[in-house]
Structures are given as C-alpha cells and as structure tokens.
Structure 1
C-alpha cells in the first residue's frame, strides 16, 4: 500500500473496507447457493451474517460520503474511521472463523472438495482484507 494519499488516506482506507465488506456479504450468498444442501443452522447463520455485513457496508459508505465532503479530515473523524476499520477487521476475523467451522463441521462441506475449495478461496480473500486493514491501522504510523 502506498501512503502518498495525504489528506485522502482516510478515503483510500474506506474504499478498501467498502469493497471487502460488499465482497463478504456476497460470499454468504455464494456459499448458500454453492452448497444447496447445507445444514439449516449454517444457512441461518450465513443469512444473519449477510445482514450484519450489509449494515457494516452501509456504515462504511456513509463514512466515504462524509470524508468525501470534508475539506479537512479532523483528528476526531480520523479516529472514527480507524475505529470503523478496526471493527471491519474484527468482523472479518469472526467471519473467517465461521467459514472454518462450516468447513470442518458441516457434513455437506467437510467431505466435499468443491465446497472446501470455495470456502478456502473466500477465507483467503477475507484474510487479504485483514492484511490491508492491519497495514492501514498499524503500518502507516511507522511509514
């Protein structure tokens, strides 16, 4: 990640979060459609996650609009952006944990190579976002 964004850095951070929260939301649907016989408890949890990720995505969009309209990003707004990105990171970690549980404990997924491949791919994508979020939260202070 490059840090030449200056005053636009909060917008860059939010752009990443917006994209990845939308991806994770869509991934809940992909899993349900790719595994039509998935146990009801996992289907229900994935639907709950879809809603939660949608709410997070909308919060990020709201902050994008705020930062876009601000002539200057004040310390308080930067702190709120960092808190939101921290929440997004933690949410992604919890989402990954759910996917790992499905991969190991779902009778539909654990012996299905295609299901494991899909889940592993989605996990890697969320891990990529976590890496980006960590750099944003912790790396730029040392750059």
Structure 2
C-alpha cells in the first residue's frame, strides 16, 4: 500500500483489510475442499475461522461506510478506532497462520496430501503478506503521513 493518499490512508487500509479477510474466509473453504478427509476437529475449526473472518469483514465494511458518509477529515478518535481494528486484524491473521502451521504439522490427512501442504503454505504466506501491510500502517506515524507537495 502506498502512503501518498493522505486522509485516504485510513480508507485504503480498510479496503486492504476487507479484501484480505474475504480471502482468508475463502481460504478456509479451499482447505476443506482440497482435503476431503480432513479430521472433523480441524474441519470444524476451519468453519469457525470462516465465520470469524466474515464477521471481521462486516465490521470493516461498517467502518468504511462510516468514513465515506462522513465527508470530513478523520477525527483522532475515529483514526484510533481504525488503528485498533487493524491491530485486531493483524492479530487474527497471525493466529490463523499459527493454526495453519499446527494443521500442517499435526493433521494426518494434510500430511498425506502434498498438494494440501503446498496450498496451506501459500495461504500462510498470503496472510503474512497482509500482516506486513497492516503493520506498516500501524507503525509510528505511517497512518498519519501526508502526501508530498
């Protein structure tokens, strides 16, 4: 994400978060599809992850709608709320990556499916990519940068 958007940085990071939460929800479906014999406990955890990502995406969309309707500079209070939400998305993605590592290491169904191992590794890398974008936004002053003049 580029930091030259000034006030729109808040909307841009919310757009990124919305996209990646949708991706992560879809990834839970992909894993369930490519590992049809996945253990029931892991299958259920993936369903729960999907629901959590969808709920987070809905919260993000509500913030985006709020920003678009406001038509004013983002208040420090709202900027803080957005930063907290993005922080939660970073944590959620990190927890999901940890779950994926556990799944890859402990699931017999995944271990016997080389394609699943590759796909799960790819999914984990994508979630880490999002975390990097979001952490850059959260870093000291990054979310408040103004475009160069």
CA distance in 2, matches of 1:56, 1:67: 17
Count of matched residue positions in the alignment of Structure 1 and Structure 2: 143
Q: In 1, Cα distance between the equivalents of 2:52 and 2:80?
A: 22
Cα distance in 1 for partners of 2:144, 2:76 equals 18
In structure 2, how many angstroms separate the alpha carbons of the residues matched to 1:7 and 1:45? 38
Q: Does 1:111 align with 2:112?
A: yes
Shift of 1:57: 0.5
Give the corresponding residue for 2:133.
132
Deviation string for 1:51-105 (max 9, x for gaps)? Answer: 1111000000000111111222100000000000000000000000111111000
Find the aligned partners of 2:7 and 2:119 in 1 and give their Cα distance.
38
Matched residue, 2:86: 85
Aligned to 1:33: 33
Gaps of 5+ in 2: none
Alignment of structure 1 residues 1-143 onto 2, 5 Å: 1-70=1-70, 71-138=72-139, 140=142
TM-score (norm. length: structure 1)? 0.96
* Segments of 4+ moved more than 6 angstroms: none
**Bigger relative contact order (CA 8 A; separation at least 6):** 2
Pairwise CA RMSD: 1.3
